[in-house]
């Protein structure tokens, strides 16, 4: 936040606005960071993964027009020269992720969230892919989906919640699609916009869907059923469905 974001040339962006770092420090063992206030309409309250918030569950209440805005921001982010970023910026490493998948999937099997046959099928998909292809191709906040958007004036959109990193663009795009499960019309509009602006390789999108769905299930693994059960079940369903390339083709059909 303090070293990378200020170095970005915001003149490159047509829509994207990044947070402006002001200061940081420590208080009673807590590290704090001060950012300049962003005036606009936040979507943070229009999305939730919590079962007891049915009106906004999985982006149900977010306007379809936001789908086009999300792709506009995605296009801006892809303009960042990742070669110029400092070495400490996190870069997705598929080999490391795959090693982690083998360990994490055992945890999910033990918890009864996944079946061993499903994990074995997924490993077959992952192991057949070129590791180098998924080293990362775009700079992202690391949590790219509408909840982290603030709509400003003149069509500008601030993206907040920066943990930052370089990821495959397909993973970033598919993460948003997955987390908007409660709004199929939004998902359809989003995919339509992606197809207009990006060359889409369905098999690479499939890997993105599988990786991000699994990561979300693992992140939610300890959450109480009454709080997160519906969302976790949805991500598990997506993971299983996306193992079938024909299902992924239908998404992009």
In this predicted model, what pLDDT tens digit does every residue of 62-96 receive, in sequence order? 999 999 999 999 999 999 999 999 999 999 999 99
In this predicted structure, the answer to whether residue 111 has a pLDDT above a threshold of 90 is yes
In this predicted structure, the answer to whether residue 165 has a pLDDT above a threshold of 90 is yes
User: Quick one: pLDDT band at residue 203, thresholds 50, 70, 90?
Assistant: very high
Q: Give every CB contact of residue 217 below 8 A, 6+ residues apart in sequence.
A: 108, 113, 114, 232, 235, 236, 239
In this predicted structure, the answer to whether residue 235 has a pLDDT above a threshold of 80 is yes
Confidence (pLDDT) at 134: 81
User: Quick one: pLDDT band at residue 56, thresholds 50, 70, 90?
Assistant: very high
Confidence (pLDDT) at 3: 87
User: Quick one: pLDDT band at residue 33, thresholds 50, 70, 90?
Assistant: confident
Task: Please provide the average confidence, as pLDDT, over all residues in the chain.
Answer: 95
Tokens matching residue 216: 């979300």
In this predicted model, what pLDDT tens digit does every residue of 133-161 receive, in sequence order? 788 899 999 999 999 999 998 889 999 99
Confidence (pLDDT) at 129: 75
Confidence (pLDDT) at 154: 87
3-state secondary structure string across the chain: CCCCHHHCCHHHCCCEECCCEEEEEEECCEEEEEECCCCCEECHHHCECCCCCCCCECCCCCCCHHHHHHHHHHHHHCCCCHHHCCCCCCECCHHHHHHHHHHHHHHHHHCCCCCHHHHHHHHHHHHCCCHHHHCCCEEECCCCCHHHEEECHHHCEEECCCCCEEECHHHHHHHHHHHCCCCHHHHHHHHHHHHHHCCCCHHHHHHHHHHHHHHHHHHCCCCCHHHHHHHHHHHHHHHHHCCCHHHHHHHCC
In this predicted structure, the answer to whether residue 130 has a pLDDT above a threshold of 80 is no
CATH numbers and ranges of domains, the chain: 44-147+163-251 (3.90.1200)
Between residues 130 and 69, the one the model is more confident about: 69
User: Quick one: pLDDT band at residue 219, thresholds 50, 70, 90?
Assistant: very high
> Of all residues in the chain, what percent carry a pLDDT higher than 70?
100
User: Quick one: pLDDT band at residue 38, thresholds 50, 70, 90?
Assistant: very high
> Of all residues in the chain, what percent carry a pLDDT higher than 90?
86
Confidence (pLDDT) at 116: 96
In this predicted structure, the answer to whether residue 183 has a pLDDT above a threshold of 90 is yes
User: Does the predicted TM-score (pTM) go above 0.85?
Assistant: yes
């Amino acid at each position: 936040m303090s070293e990378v974001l200020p170095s970005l040339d915001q003149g490159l962006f047509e829509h994207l606005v990044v947070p402006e770092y002001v200061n940081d420090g420590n208080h009673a063992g807590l590290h704090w960071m001060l950012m300049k206030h962003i005036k606009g309409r936040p979507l943070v309250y229009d999305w939730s993964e919590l079962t007891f918030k049915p009106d906004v569950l999985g982006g149900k209440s977010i306007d379809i027009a936001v789908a086009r805005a999300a792709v506009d921001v995605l296009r801006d982010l892809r303009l960042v020269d990742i070669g110029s970023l400092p070495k400490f910026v996190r870069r997705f490493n598929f080999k490391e992720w795959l090693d982690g998948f083998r360990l994490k999937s055992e945890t999910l099997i033990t918890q009864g969230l996944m079946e061993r046959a499903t994990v074995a099928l997924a490993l077959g998909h992952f192991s057949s892919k070129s590791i180098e292809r998924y080293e990362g191709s775009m700079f992202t906040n690391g949590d790219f989906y509408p909840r982290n958007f603030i709509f400003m004036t003149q069509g500008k959109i601030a993206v907040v919640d920066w943990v930052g990193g370089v990821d495959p663009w397909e993973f970033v795009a598919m993460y948003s699609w997955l987390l908007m499960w409660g709004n199929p019309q939004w998902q359809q509009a989003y995919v339509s916009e992606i197809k207009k602006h990006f060359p889409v390789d369905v098999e690479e999108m499939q890997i993105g869907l599988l990786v991000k769905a699994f990561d979300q299930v693992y992140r939610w693994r300890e959450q109480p059923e009454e709080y997160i059960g519906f969302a976790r079940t949805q991500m598990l369903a997506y993971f299983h469905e996306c193992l079938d390339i024909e299902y992924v083709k239908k998404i992009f059909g």
